[in-house]
Every structure is written in C-alpha cells, then in structure tokens.
Amino acid sequence: MAGEVVVKKEESLKLKITDKSHVKPEEKIGKKEYQLVTFDLPYLAFYYNQKLLFYKGEDFEGMVQKLKIGLGVVLKEFHQLAGKLGKDEEGVFRVEYDDDMLGVEVIEAVADEIAVDDLTVAESTSNLKELIPYTGILNLEGMHRPLLAVQLTKLKDGLAMGLAFNHAVLDGTSTWQFMTSWAEICSGSPSTTAPPFLDRTKARSTRVKLDLSPPEPNGPPTSNGDANPTPALREKIFKFSESAIDKIKSTVNENPPSDGSKPFSTFQALSSHVWRHVTHARNLKPEDYTVFTVFADCRKRVDPPMPETYFGNLIQAIFTVTAVGLLSAHPPQFAASMVQKAIEAHNAKVIDERNKEWERAPKIFEFKDAGVNCVAVGSSPRFKVYDIDFGWGKPEIVRSGTNNKFDGMIYLYPGKSGGGSIDVELTLEPEALERLEQDKGFLLEA
C-alpha cells in the first residue's frame, strides 16, 4: 500500500532510570561566548527539540560506553552543546561555555521487557515520552540546565536513543550535522569530516536585548505535555513509498503552468498534497482561511551565503494563505504553485526585511503564529537520518518526540527503505486524523 498506515500498539515500558551523569569535552577549551542572533532568538519560548532513534544490538553497556567516549570527543568542536544559555551585561542572550560547567546530561535507563520492533510500529510517539528527556521543557530553561540531554534506554534487543536539543541554539540542519559527526567518531574516524562553523554573527550581527527570564526550576509546570492536555491531538506516521511519491509528483507536473515556472519539486508536490488533504479532513467552511507554513533553511539564501556547516538556527518561517474553497476547487497545481512561489520569493532581501522588522519589535514565537488552520512543515527528507551509524548499524527508525507538536505540525523524514520514500509524521485533532485515514486519495489506494 502506497501510504501504509502504521498500527498503534500501546504497552507499558516499565522503564527504570539506572544512572545519570554528565559528559564534557575531553579536552579543556576555556571560556567561550557566542551571541545568539535574530535567527535564534524567536525560539526561546519553543520547547527542546526531541529526536528518537532505535538501534538493534545486544551489548548495551558497550554501546553506552562507546557513545559517551565519542560524545566527549565530538564536544570539542560542538562545545556549545556542553554549555548553557546566559546574558551579557546588556541583556543580550548568548551561549556560554566554560570548562567547569556540567556538560551534556546523559541518562541511562532500562525497559528490557520490550523489543525494538514493538516500539517502531507505534502510531504515535506520545506513548514513547518516557524514552526522551525534557518533555515540556522550554528552551529558555537552558539558562539553568544542559543544552543537550541524551537518554539511552536498554531494550530487550537493542537501544533507544532519546535526545533533547535546545532549539534556541540550533536548528535541524545543525542537529543532524552534530549527530553525523558523533557517529563518525564512534565508528572510528579520527576526526569529523565537516567541523561546525561557529560564528553566528557572520549571518546576523544585530544585538537584540530581550527581557525574558526562565520559569523557576521548581515553579508551576510550563509543559505542553501532561500539565496541559487540551486540546487532544493524535500523532501518526504515514509512509509514502517511492512509487507513491513519484505518482504525486507526476500528477502535479502533468499540466505545467504557462508562466514558465520550474517543475514542482518533490517537497512542493508532497507538501501541497498533504496541505490539500489535511484541509479537506478538517471539514472547514469554503470561506475559512488555511495557511501553509514551512520552516526553510536560509543558509544558501542569505547574502553572503553561509556554509552548510553553520552551527545555529538559520531558518525562517515562510507562509502562504488561501481560502479553503479555492484550495479544494482547484487542481493540485494550484496549491503546489502557491507553495513554490512563496519559497522562491524568500530571497536575501526578504530575509533581511523580516529580520529588521523583528528586531524593531521582537516577538517570541508561539505555535499559533504558524497561522490559522495551518499545515506547518519542519524537518526535511534531505536530512540523512538513516546514515547515523555509531558502529552497530543504521537506526531501525527515526522519529520526533512530543515537544513542539501542535495541530497541523508535520515532520518529514526520508523513508528507511531509501530511494525516494518519505515518512510523513503528522499531528492533528483526532476527528480530522480519522477522516484523513479514510481518505484513499491521500493514501493513494486503488
């Protein structure tokens, strides 16, 4: 089936935490300070970005030891992740590192009654919360806790690696660059192939003072998890095979527009397909508006362009909006063209104007800022997440945690089977998700 539906399987993990420690860079680095810039600051009130990778393997203790040693090595270059958030004397946020800081938090746990395969078929990552640290923790709390936490859980036949990265410090591109580098070191490489580019001010040097402080460590919960369970949302992974992706792409490119614009890319074809079908599943009125949002990598869009290895956030949200009736009445090319035009128009000039506007009146992002009845895409099928091999094989599955999930949020990952397959990890209100599951046009069923 082209859009294979993954069956939900809830089971108690019976998880026990067995150890907590911290890992620092293996060599002294001294005191370092890195100003957070306009691309970073809006994410201070988002939550830690959570990733979850499952590996098969029998030697849990050996795997943990190798991961910790490799982490100490890779943190020499990526030492910002072993630091914390702070402010300078003028109130400008920055990443601070010093050798006496705690470093990265590493949690070890056991849930060895459950196998990797039992967990990789789960419909939702919400029942996997126990495997990932820092659920419901704001990035701002990086002022008094590590900027990276790793939980390594022993399963019956493998290891679950749950990670929480402070999103004010880095975006998806930097996250997977770090993971790739860590895996290279663990696999025996003497050095990383692409050291991080650490000077954020080369992308934007404006100093913006923000009057923000983190919640008290033991204050009221600020969670987007259990403390605030409404509205109820469901998360589901829809797997689109290479042939399904080809079909979506060829359909949308059947009647090329007469204005001479380029053929629609895989991303434009798939994301507009999801936008149309999710909007239909929501049972909205024709006059309602719907927004498509993509968090786009701007490394090559800014002037001068930044290297792919730029470490930090270099993303901006790109929006396009239309009426529900127009989206449903027109063929797929209509939605794909809107997405394409919005992305192509987001050049260095637009990025600069958006930054200047934000710097004049700083606004910390909230989920509702993604737009009304939105479909918002984060992550990218271009991230080589299944190449993260620490020396015991590729991950069985790669997922996001429950943080930063809201109604309409989508994470795209390459499918494990490779080729052009793509996994669409989608969060929706339960009724809409149920209707989407029955939509044969979405799943491309015969």
Residues 6+ apart with CB under 8 A from 260: none
Give bridge partners of residue 109 from the DSSP assignment: 17, 153
Residue 343's alpha-carbon distances to 79, 142, 340, 367, in angstroms, are 33, 32, 5, 21
Q: Give the residue numbers annotated as catalytic, written as ranges.
A: 167, 389
Assess contact for 411 and 378: CB atoms under 8 A.
yes
Residue written as tokens 């008290």?
216
Do 54 and 121 touch, CB atoms closer than 8 A? Answer: no
Q: Which residues pair with 17 in a beta bridge?
A: 109
CA distance 86 to 168: 12
Report which residue type is found at 172.
G
Quick check: bond before 42 cis, omega within 30?
A: no
Query: What is the dihedral angle through the alpha carbons of 386, 387, 392, 396, rounded to the nearest 10 degrees?
Result: 0
Nearest-Å Rg of the Cα atoms of the chain is 22
What is the rounded CA–CA span in Å between residue 267 and residue 109? 38
Q: How many CB atoms lie within 10 A of CB 171?
A: 26
